Structure 1
Amino acid sequence: MLPRDERRRLREIEQQLVDEDPRLARRLSQTSTLGYLRARVSVRMAVAACAGVLAITCLFLNEGAAALTSAALTGLLLISRTWRIELL
């Protein structure tokens, strides 16, 4: 928890922002579900979720090789979620 004077200063800054640019303040204070998901879910995790669904679908359709490939891709993506990929 922040000390009382820091909380007071943050409230003053927030009020100043609301006074100067109410439209920006409203946009910053509103959090949409899509914005929350965008902040929390990376592209890699979205692809992993799709590959997982594909693996389960392939199992129901008796496509063993496709299910195994999709499951391997899902596992690789989940394991590599902390890896950083840098392009030259």
Structure 2
Amino acid sequence: MANKRSKKRNLLTLDADLTELAYQLHVNASRLRETATHINIPAAFRMQLLRRVQSDMNLAKSLGLELSIPEVEVFSNKDSTEKAAESLGLFD
């Protein structure tokens, strides 16, 4: 049986994969937040969407602890996630 590092990551998961996932979570969260605040929908549904945005952002932040060298704040926002992705060469 393979050793697992945590519930989210096994030993074969690359840091680049986690970084890409965190980046996509931030992109999706920002797009959903922008859309939810600019369209005319009931307030209860808007709040439900914004809770999902917050959940995605928290999930992206928690992926920083799953890196080979855990870093708490590396995926704290979209800009810091982009910097981490650039350093790993994901945008090349």
- TM-score normalized by the length of structure 2: 0.34
Give the helix-richer structure, 1 or 2: 1
**Larger CA Rg, structure 1 vs 2:** 1
- TM-score normalized by the length of structure 1: 0.35
**Higher RCO (C-alpha under 8 Å, 6+ residues apart):** 2
